[in-house]
Amino acid sequence: MLQVVDLSANAVAVIHREEHCLLNRVGEVPRYFPRKNQLEDMAIATGGAVFEEEGLDLNLEDVQVHDLGEVGEVISKHDAILLNAKVTKLKLKKITKQLDTTSEYEMEKLNERLAKLSDKLAVLKVGGTSDAEVNEKKTVTNVLNAKRAAVEEGIVLGARGLLCFEVGYDAVLGNFVNTVETGIIDPAKFVRTALLTAAGIASLTTAEVVVTEIPTGEKNPGMGGMGVGMGD
C-alpha cells in the first residue's frame, strides 16, 4: 500500500493488468481522512504491507510477493469494498488494544475501523414464480432501508415503546408487550422523522387560518357531433 502513486507507476500497473501479468487495483485514498489508518486497515484486510515516505523500513526495490496484499474481489466506484478478505482475530486485537484511550473522538474512530474490518457482506436475490411473489421484494427493500437508517442514527425501542414507557404493540402476536424483553427495536431516524412530521401537522391546529388550493376537477368533454355520411 502506497500513500502516493505517480502517473508513471499507475501506467505500469495498468499495463500489467491488461497483459494479465499481475491483477491489481489502483485507487486514491481521500485526503481529508486519516490516510495512514485507512492504508493500515487495507493492509490488515489484504495481508499486505504499507510503504510510507517517512520511516520506510523496506525499499520498493526489495518488495517480495508476500508483501503484496491479496483479496478475492474489489468493488469500487466512490467507495471500495474488499470481498473475501482474510482478517485474522490477532490483527483485530491490535486495534482493540488501542481503545484504551481517554479521547472519546479517538474511540469513536477506532470503533468505526473495527466495524469495517469485521463487517460481513450478503447478496440477496429475490425472485418468484408469480407477480405476487416478486412483489415481496418490497419487503426486503424496506428491511434494507431500516438497516441503513439504524446505521446512520442508531436504534431505539420499537413499536412506539420509546413513547409509551417500554410498552408497544407486537404485530406478530397481536397484543401489547414489553419491547425491552421481546427485543423489538426501531431505527432512531424513523422515530425522529415521525415526531417531526407529527409536530408539523399538530402546529396547524394552533394556526388561525390555513391556506390551501381548491382542487378544480376537469370537466369531461362532451360527445362529438356525428359525421355526415358519404351518401347524404
Residues 24 and 17 sit within 8 Å (Cβ to Cβ):
yes
> 100 lies in a domain?
no
Q: pLDDT at position 148, please?
A: 79
Q: Which domain holds residue 190?
A: 131-202
Q: pLDDT at position 199, please?
A: 86
The residue among 102, 4, 124 whose CA lies nearest residue 56 is 4
> 226 lies in a domain?
no
> 211 lies in a domain?
no
**Mean pLDDT of residues grouped by 10 in the chain (232 residues)?**
48 54 52 61 71 57 68 59 60 62 66 66 70 76 79 70 68 78 79 85 78 73 55 50
Instruction: Please count the other Cβ atoms lying within 10 Å of the Cβ belonging to residue 150.
Output: 17
> Which of 53, 86, 119 is a domain's end point?
86
Instruction: Please count the other Cβ atoms lying within 10 Å of the Cβ belonging to residue 60.
Output: 10
In terms of domains, do 77 and 137 share one? no
Q: pLDDT at position 5, please?
A: 47
